[in-house]
Amino acid sequence: MLRIASYLLLILILTTSSITTIGQQNQNDTRKEWWRDARYGMFIHWGAYSVSAGEWNGQSHYSEWLMTEAKIPLSEYRRQLVERFNPTKFDAAAWVKLAKDAGMKYIVITSKHHDGFVMFKSQVDDYNIVDATPFKRDPIRELAEECRKQGMRFGIYYSHILDWARPEAKNPGSQEFDRYWNNTVVPHLKELLTNYGDICEIWFDIGKQTPEDKVKEILAIIANLQPATLINNRVKSFSDYGDFISMGDNEIPQSNFNKDFESPMTLNHHWGYNKVDKNWKSAQEVIDRLIDIASKGGNLLLNVGPTGEGVIPEESAQVLREAGEWLARNGNAIYGTRPLPFPYHFDWGAMTTKDNKIYLLIKNWQGKLVLNGIKSRVLKAYPLNAPNTTLKFKHKDSINLMLPDKAKDKLVSVIVLELNGQPEVDQKIIQQGSGKVILNLEVADLKLNKEKPIENTAEWKFRIFTPGTYEVSLTNLHKVKTKRDFQHNIIITVNEQKFSVLPKTSDEFNESRSTQYPYEEATVHLGTLNFPRPGEYTLKLINDQVMQPSQIRKVPWQQDRLKIRTITLTPVKE
């Protein structure tokens, strides 16, 4: 009787504890502590497709999407790629060492991508790297063991919905899909969670169609076999299932939205190895993105795509090592830090916080830095790597900080502000010390008009300290090489001032921070506004491209070819 009761109790614990949902950041969830402290991990996209290096019949393809893009039948894929997959240069110790040198705290590798080829020894069928290739080794095991040796956490990516090798997977919800699920997904997950030691994170992908009961089944399996394993919300994409939100590919949120998130990011324009893609981000660009993500409370999962021989391309390794050197000098400002609740980003860099300290991560180094919005009293300011060099500052409403020349780091320099307690900041939108006002769509008050989207309005209240004339510019997302411009005038009003403009050409293009290539951010000049006195103002932007910000994490950004991101007000020097 007692045994039955304790069995029922166990079932109850398993079923209730199995449904993890994404909570607010301040929630006391000790399972996530290491992950929140880590801030930086390595993503590895590696599989039989790597053999092709992105090329098929003389044409370049999207690496890991090759099978479906080039319409290669399974038998041919198997013959030409799987049976030639012999990555004899694969060296798990070297990969883990690279991740360590890069300053990364965990690794997540593809154990099965959409092509359905299994990168570990499985008992389910022989379409796996040990049974179907001349290589005959299990790289997932080798990496897992090496991670354990070198003190690196180990996680796996698993494509649970898309599987082009198993036709039964085609229609989620159908009976055939249930067969795929029961004969492939469930046993695979059990194998991965049983045979490879601690799995820090399971990374599911493209899970929009995952049937609800299947999500619950996965969560229960994980809770049962490895309750500490974290799960991303793409187990059912755009949902709150799992432990953290996977942002869109290459997406960085515009501001801290108080939830745990991870930005998966490519180092060039592909995930899997593509021999012609030399668009490597520089170490500067990597650190720039890492500080942006950390300052908003997320993790960067930065991808490498090893070759079919098992080598991480040297160009990417070099960038990672250089960024790792920066982390070795400045890691205190990243690892274990938490975000501050500013509703905007900064033009000069980013801020993180730990204990009674604020770290200023300065990209644009100038002789002095003016900071608005820090309410706590600053006791002391010094360069992170020269704590005895105290910096001069004045703190009235703003903090005026004099910056020395010698603290300058070639990538991003860090200054520490020591406070008289926990940091307290103004959570309203205010003019920044540089004079700019940054208005992100994510934090706008929206009024959407379904019948007349042309009247859709985004509205921001903000405080100006310095009266004068300001240039108004708009940053939007736009597909590279397309001529998609705004179809309707953008109307801007501030109190009694109003102007209407149809922006034609962009003045400035940057790699997109909201989605992956081939999208980019374009900044256009809209006009000027006058702010006659200090005080609070309301700016309204009216245009049919104003969309629901909650949709930002519900649908992929790339579904729209043009999207408004930020309005920036910059004082005009008179």
| Residue ranges that bind ligand FHN, judged by CB under 6 A | 64, 205-206, 249, 264, 271
Closer of 243 and 322 to ligand FHN (Cβ): 243
For residues 415 and 322, give the distance between their C-alpha atoms in angstroms, rounded to a whole number: 21
Asked if 235 contacts 207 with a C-beta cutoff of 8 angstroms, the reply is yes
Strands 357-362 and 368-371: unpaired
Closer of 202 and 522 to ligand FHN (Cβ): 202
Closer of 322 and 560 to ligand FHN (Cβ): 560
Output the smallest distance, CB 437 to ligand FHN, in A.
Answer: 34
9 Cβ partners below 8 Å, 6+ apart?
none
Asked if 105 contacts 40 with a C-beta cutoff of 8 angstroms, the reply is yes
Output the smallest distance, CB 138 to ligand FHN, in A.
Answer: 21
Closer of 35 and 271 to ligand FHN (Cβ): 271
| Chain-centroid distance, C-alpha 512 | 12
Output the smallest distance, CB 236 to ligand FHN, in A.
Answer: 14
Output the smallest distance, CB 205 to ligand FHN, in A.
Answer: 5
For residues 476 and 519, give the distance between their C-alpha atoms in angstroms, rounded to a whole number: 10
Output the smallest distance, CB 119 to ligand FHN, in A.
Answer: 13
Closer of 70 and 370 to ligand FHN (Cβ): 70
Output the smallest distance, CB 69 to ligand FHN, in A.
Answer: 11
* Burial (0-12, 13-18, 19+ Cβ within 10 Å), 331: middle
Output the smallest distance, CB 271 to ligand FHN, in A.
Answer: 4
Closer of 64 and 191 to ligand FHN (Cβ): 64
Show the 3-state SS of 183-222: HHHHHHHHHHHHHCCCCCEEEECCCCCCCHHHHHHHHHHH
Strands 490-494 and 497-501: antiparallel
For residues 440 and 552, give the distance between their C-alpha atoms in angstroms, rounded to a whole number: 12
Asked if 180 contacts 110 with a C-beta cutoff of 8 angstroms, the reply is no
Distance separating the N- and C-terminal Cα atoms of the chain = 86
Closer of 64 and 520 to ligand FHN (Cβ): 64
Two structure tokens written together for 566: 């930020």
Asked if 259 contacts 21 with a C-beta cutoff of 8 angstroms, the reply is no
Closer of 270 and 436 to ligand FHN (Cβ): 270
For residues 545 and 476, give the distance between their C-alpha atoms in angstroms, rounded to a whole number: 10
For residues 228 and 230, give the distance between their C-alpha atoms in angstroms, rounded to a whole number: 6
Residues in the chain: 574
CA distances from 329 to 324, 326, 414, 545 (A): 9, 5, 10, 43
Closer of 242 and 264 to ligand FHN (Cβ): 264
* DSSP states along 365-377: --SEEEE-SB-SP
Residue nearest to ligand FHN (CB): 264
Which residues are 155's β-sheet partners? 108
Ramachandran angles phi, psi of 164, nearest 5°: -75, -10
Q: Report CA torsion sign: 335, 340, 341, 344.
A: negative
Output the smallest distance, CB 188 to ligand FHN, in A.
Answer: 17
Closer of 301 and 350 to ligand FHN (Cβ): 301
Output the smallest distance, CB 358 to ligand FHN, in A.
Answer: 32
42 Cβ partners below 8 Å, 6+ apart?
98, 99, 102, 104, 106, 107, 108, 301, 302, 303, 304, 320
Spatial CA neighbour of 561 closest among 459, 488, 478: 478
Closer of 272 and 310 to ligand FHN (Cβ): 272
Output the smallest distance, CB 263 to ligand FHN, in A.
Answer: 10
How many CB atoms sit inside 10 A of residue 336's CB? 16
Closer of 162 and 291 to ligand FHN (Cβ): 162
Asked if 434 contacts 348 with a C-beta cutoff of 8 angstroms, the reply is yes
Asked if 263 contacts 247 with a C-beta cutoff of 8 angstroms, the reply is yes
Closer of 204 and 470 to ligand FHN (Cβ): 204
Closer of 264 and 349 to ligand FHN (Cβ): 264
Output the smallest distance, CB 340 to ligand FHN, in A.
Answer: 28
